[in-house]
Amino acid sequence: MQAKTWLAFIGAIIGLGIAALILFLIIDAAWLRWGFVGTFILVSAVLLVIAWFYDRRQAKIDEQYDLTTG
């Protein structure tokens, strides 16, 4: 593999590591402020919003597929 590929791979690993660190810091801060139940509610709410956006997008894709297949 070329050097460009390896640099992109290393950059992606570093970026994902920084994103994971930030995510854990946010969860830790929520845990300290609100305890287990508050953190559970926060994480659940965030995941539900992500799932809602994903489902809306997927429904549009499914609708287009149904229209094209007749």
pLDDT band for position 70 (cuts 50, 70, 90): low
Residue 30, classified by CB atoms within 10 Å of its CB into exposed (0-12), middle (13-18) or buried (19+), is middle
CA distance 16 to 39: 22
**The model scores a pTM over 0.85:** no
Q: ∠ at Cα 31 (27, 34), nearest 5°?
A: 125
Query: Could you report the per-residue pLDDT of 14-64, keeping only the tens digit for each?
Result: 999 999 999 999 999 999 999 999 999 999 999 999 999 999 999 888 888
